[in-house]
Amino acid sequence: MSLLASIIALSLSGAAPAADYRERPPEDEIIYFVLPDRFENDDPKNDRGGLEGDRLQTGYDPTAKGFFHGGDLAGLTKRLDYIEGLGATAIWFAPIFKNKPVQGPKGDESAGYHGYWVTDFTQVDPHFGTNAEFKAFVDAAHKRGMKVYMDIIANHTADVITYKEDAAGGFRYRSLADFPYSRRGGIRGASINSGFSGDHVADLENWKKLTDPAFAYTPVVPKDAERVKVPAWLNDPLYYHNRGNSDWVGESALYGDFSGLDDLATENPHVVQGFIDIYGRWIDEFGIDGFRIDTAKHVNPEFWQAFVPAMLARAKARGIPNFHIFGEVYVDAVDPGALAWYTHAAGLPAVLDFGFARAAIDALSGTKGTGEFARLFDGDALYKGGAGAAQELPTFLGNHDMGRFAMFVKAANPAASEAELLQRVMLGHAMLLTLRGVPTIYYGDEQGFVSDDKDQLARETMFASKVAAYNDNDLIGSAATTATANFDPAHPLYRHIATLSEIRRKTPALMRGATKVRAFSEKPGLLAVSRFDPDTGREVLLAFNTSAAPLSANIAIDMKSAGFTALHGDCPASPAAPGSLHLSLPAFGTIICQAS
């Protein structure tokens, strides 16, 4: 039996009993992130979401990258074998709540296939299926011992509210100073909202005095959309900031509409309790295991200070002691301090580790050395809870917003051979699956998907695509294209990830072990890291070569490490001297050595 077949057989035989999955801490997981619309279409009857008309009414156009393609929850359930065989233990998927089907200016419309334009927070979007089908998916995953993480949004809803003024000007952001809550339409306007003490006073009695939402713009809700949002309180403009479009700087990053999306007044205690009720229900009724929080940095910290403890308590009461909450704080740099701030000020237990992604992209593309990882790990002390808390950060190489990891590697190495690109991408996944944090695999990366750019161009379908901009891509490690289905468990990247996932799950040091950087380079070359078993203290040495040439080096090790077993690659059986191990790595090679 092949290694891959053994892994799949072991997984399907119940190696991780369903009864035990609740007990796993977040850092023990391997996450698979997927957009349901782009994964598998098991029920063509729901492709149009029960709507009639052309693509501007139904949102369905499988030939256009910005419209629904047909993937659904039944398809996700159907492909659980594939996801489990890869080694994933948790599935995070883009929002499945009912969305506004289509929005955008005339001639530049797109659909809510991605799930971030919510109108009904209580219902699965009919394009994806039903609440009952979601329950069936969660139950099927749990039966295998796999966790389910929902992608949630509190920052905004779909773009329903418009404004009476400045349509020609693009609804530019209007600030608190120039357009205070106390005047209608500017500091010279009529006095309104008498007695309102400001949005920093989180008291219901204070917020009852905010009765006029036309302090900056006059919000207008189209007649045919006055009751489109669920729960019903979301239809009232009083619960929104109504200050126009964010310019992503300073105050507007919190108060501005996200490209037209209706920005909620998350300072209002009614909004806080409303979202606690909304998302608490999904925990109560479906027993999900975690939340990824979209646009977390665009919400005031006080909201999260109230929301997070409420969700953790709700989960604990439901018998879910290890509920994993992590926020999206998009910081495209190796800047741990900028990320860690949100674990202190906002009380988020974890954030997506954009710093890890940046370090991996730069190191594996050859544009920088491996010292970026040393700087990244030095910053772990900044997180609330220190380096131990950093173990819960979901790490990743690329995603649906920034683009795929292979794209960055290929763009930086336009003359590289197919074999070299595959080696670099495989090395990136070796780092992802062995270094600290919770490895998060972006769907399709295991099939060599490349992407042409970020956003819509990085959201290819796993089932046969009809999008020309996807189908002309040269996939890495395969002669296939996205014009045919790509669920090949024999793909070299799939096999590589499955192998390393199995090693990780069997090696506590790789899931929860402390990190000690042993060697790094300021140019492409060596990165050596020791991780230590949290119970026994036994060392596991990781070594990576990001250069195109083989290398050898003496690596400092624990004085107690008297012998080594190779978990991956060629490891010396014994140290060259107490406290020193001599390693040789091939180009783009990985070695995992476990001390005896």
Tell me the C-alpha distance between 257 and 237, whole Å: 13
Catalytic residue among 263, 289, 328, 380: 328
| Two tokens, residue 410 | 């290929």
SS3 of 272, please? helix
Question: How many Cβ atoms are within 10 Å of 514's Cβ, its own excluded?
Answer: 16
Which DSSP symbol is given to 455?
G
Hunting for tokens 């690596």 — which residue is that?
555
Q: How many CA atoms lie within 13 A of 193 on its CB side?
A: 24
Cα distance between residue 472 and residue 21, in whole Å: 41
Cα dihedral value 481, 487, 491, 496, nearest 10: 130
Please tell me the distance from the alpha carbon of residue 301 to that of residue 297, in angstroms, as a whole number: 8
Q: How many CA atoms lie within 13 A of 198 on its CB side?
A: 4
H or E stretch covering 590: strand 590-595
* Residue 294 annotated among the catalytic residues of the structure: yes
How far, in Å, CA of 67 to CA of 392, rounded? 34
Helix (H) or strand (E) run with residue 412 in it: helix 405-412
Alpha-carbon span 109 to 18, nearest angstrom: 44
CB 509 within 8 A of CB 534: yes
Query: Out of 42, 267, 294, 392, which one is annotated catalytic?
Result: 294
**Encoded tokens for 301:** 């910290």
Distance in angstroms (rounded) separating the CA atoms of residues 502 and 484: 29
Where does 106-231 have alpha helices with state H? Answer: 131-143, 204-207
Q: What is the dihedral of CA 42, 47, 49, 50, to 10 degrees?
A: -100
Structural element, H or E, at residue 163: strand 162-163
Cα–Cα distance measured from residue 503 to residue 501, given in angstroms and rounded to the nearest whole number: 5
> Tokens representing 336?
């741990």
| Measured distance CA(227)–CA(211) in Å, rounded | 20
Among candidate residues 366, 511, 455, the one with its CA nearest the CA of residue 24? 511
Q: How far out from the chain centre does Cα 269 lie?
A: 27
Q: Is there a catalytic annotation at residue 328? A: yes
Find out whether 1 and 9 touch, Cβ atoms under 8 Å.
Answer: yes
How long, in residues, is the chain? 596
Distance CA 550, CA 583 (A): 11
Which residues is 449 bridged to in the sheet? none
d(CA 22, CA 316): 11
C-alpha 493/C-alpha 426 separation (Å) is 7
Six token digits for residue 152: 């949630």
**Token pair of 218, please?**
């006059």
Give catalytic residues, as residue numbers.
Answer: 294, 328
